[in-house]
Amino acid sequence: MAVCNVCFRHCDIREGQTGVCKARTCRDGIVVASNYGHYTALALDPIEKKPLSRFHPGSMILSYGSYGCNLFCPFCQNYDISRSDGNEFSDVITPEQLAGLADKYRSKGNIGVAYTYNEPLTGYEFIRDTAKIVRNMGMMNVLVSNGTAETAVLEEILPYIDAMNIDIKSMSEKTYKEVLGGDLKTTKAFIERAVKDCHVELTMLIVPGMNDSDEEMNELVDWIAGLTGKNGEKIGENIPLHISRFFPRYKMTDRPATDVSRIHSLAEKAGKRLKYVYTGNC
């Protein structure tokens, strides 16, 4: 048995078994990423799809996804891969091969590799190994994450990551714990560290009855506006916020899609303090 230190759960994993994320296992008494190099999706996407609106707009990025996630969002859009144990996915790619593919697509406007679709940090070692090669090739690395990882993991990959989009799903610790199976403090600490050395954009999916109140948006904006840079300077008002529309999905089909007018109302409210606010899925 060994302890996994990737996220707040610190799963005790028995030999040959996996942690809660289904992507980390114990081999010879050491926790390793069982999803290392296993991919469920490879696509050349517009950078805006990540979403990143203020990082090389108009460019393309090779997007890599594996399997596994350490949250249990009942509205997950990619639950078929995030909740998978990987048994149905056998395709494997090496860091060298993925970096080489990214280089091949430069002629199509590709600027690098995005680690996305599932929760990439369940297999952060593959990100680290690939990102080093991509960086040495003069290309860029993008991380799309729920931010529910220990800062020690972030420190290991941060030197090679150029931009991130991080989900912050609620400002309620109760919602994070009871609905998502997560930990708000961990996510906030991750974001607070990331913004000091990386281009960061944030996304909140607005779910009716969960996080769609004016009060919660005010709390989110207050927190973002107070974020500081490496030297303590206030940078929060310049951090882009994506406010996205919910659609019934997976285990959350008990409510309608978020009203478009509600998305625009919350975006208008956020825009009074933040310079860059974008609406999504509208």
Structure pTM?
0.97
Please report where in the chains the tokens 């978020």 appear, as a residue: 258
* Closest among 214, 208, 277 to 241, alpha carbons compared: 277
Kindly state the tokens that stand for 272. Answer: 């009074």
The bridge status of strand 163-167 relative to strand 140-145 is parallel
Kindly state the tokens that stand for 202. Answer: 């944030």
Q: What does each of the 282 residues of the chain score in pLDDT, given as a tens digit?
A: 899 999 999 999 999 999 999 999 999 999 999 999 999 999 999 999 999 999 999 999 999 999 999 999 999 999 999 989 888 888 999 999 999 999 999 999 999 999 999 999 999 999 999 999 999 999 999 999 999 999 999 999 999 999 999 999 999 999 999 999 999 999 999 999 999 999 999 999 999 999 999 999 999 999 999 999 999 999 999 999 999 999 999 999 999 999 999 999 999 999 999 999 999 999
SS3 94: coil
What does the alpha-carbon distance between residue 187 and residue 190 come to, in Å, rounded to a whole number? Answer: 5
* Closest among 206, 208, 173 to 187, alpha carbons compared: 173
Strand partners, 163: 142, 199
Q: Which domains does the chain have, with CATH numbers?
A: 35-280 (3.20.20.70)
Alpha-carbon Rg of the chain, whole angstroms? 18
Kindly state the tokens that stand for 258. Answer: 């978020």
144 and 113 in contact (C-beta within 8 Å)?
A: no
Please report where in the chains the tokens 């944030």 appear, as a residue: 202
Contacts of 49 (CB under 8 A, 6+ apart): 63
